[in-house]
Amino acid sequence: MFHTKHHSFYTCMLLLLISILLVACSTTPDADTNSPTDADETTIRLGYVPVIIFAPIYVGIERGYFAEEGLTIDLTALQSTNDAVIQLAAGNFEVAAAGGNAGVFNAIERGLEFKIVAPMHSEAPPLATPLVISANRTDEIQTIADLAGKRVAINGNGAAIEYWMAQALAQGGLSMDDVEVTAMPFPNMPAALENGSLDAAVISEPLVTINVDNGLLSILSEDYIDGFTATFLFMSQSWSEQNPEAARGFMRAYLRACRDLQGDYMTPEIATIIETYTEVPAPIIERSKLAQYDPNGVVPVEDLQTLQTFFMGRGSLEYEDLLDIDPFVDTDLATEVAAELNQQ
């Protein structure tokens, strides 16, 4: 009789334990109630060019700032930032990182739907985008004035880099009309300079450091721009209005990353992060000239106006009268988020 009761007791206990385990397995753990669940995550499609200057995007992803906001960033690498803005307006992206190119102003004039919400990068001497010549021609081309009548290259007509070239030439008393301007992809420039089919070029990091190391290039000027902003963060207006919390979370993560990139910010860890997205070796990135980032997301509208006026003079715009840029710049979100971050 005792044996039967003993057996029944353990049978009941076993059944109770199994029931508890089944309930536990069917219940979602609540270890971190502050972390967003998969169902809460929002995917943001972002168009960009995989270059060093877009470091805040890479840092924000790898340091988990976007994830903390419940955001997944779906990056699409493009050849041109003009493509990024066009696809943003077409609804293929929610956010784009792009230059203040002629295509941007033409898109604004056509009424395409997007807004400029924050700056991306600015440059100060020593520039990350200097004017260079072949290392074999330093005796022949000693000053910018020596480029008169010669062939110079930028990476695309109507790109912000065209303004860079104009400023570099002006430093030597020349205008764009005093040289032969040609468009050429950045990676093709060093070989063209070496074989003499090109006399000078404005070329961007890390190609500068790589080719100076290899003895192919010599820097002619790296101080012709100081604090000018030419790349910006664009956002779909309809998407941001329909998803205000996601837009705010994106801006918060973005500005946190910008705040990480202040002063002499390049570390082995940040260089490794950038390498992941650009495929440029981290040791090269560590020695490349640094871009600058505004920690508060203030858009210098005067720089946009300068670019528009420049492209109007170059005949690159599809309209005749300068546009008022202010209505297409909306920094309310960046201002609010920056104020919140400043209080933390």
| Residue 3: per-residue pLDDT | 40
- Residue type at 207 in one-letter notation: L
Global confidence as pTM = 0.82
Identify the DSSP state of 91: T
The sign one gets for the Cα dihedral 185, 188, 190, 195 is negative
What domains does the chain contain, in order, with CATH numbers?
42-122+228-342 (3.40.190.10), 131-221 (3.40.190.10)
| Residue 84: per-residue pLDDT | 84
Contact 54, 48 (CB under 8 A): yes
Q: What are the mean pLDDT values of the chain's consecutive 10-residue runs (344 residues total)?
A: 38 36 35 42 91 94 98 88 82 92 91 92 93 97 97 90 95 97 92 96 92 95 94 94 96 98 96 94 94 95 96 95 93 94 91
Token pair listed for 330:
């909306």
Contact 222, 130 (CB under 8 A): yes
Contact 90, 234 (CB under 8 A): no
141 forms beta bridges with: none
| DSSP code per residue over 159-177 | SHHHHHHHHHHHHTT--GG
Residue partners of 22: CB distance under 8 A and separation at least 6? none
3-state DSSP percent of the chain in helix, strand and coil, to 5: 50, 15, 35
What is the distance of C-alpha 319 from the center of its chain?
28
Place of tokens 């898109």: 107
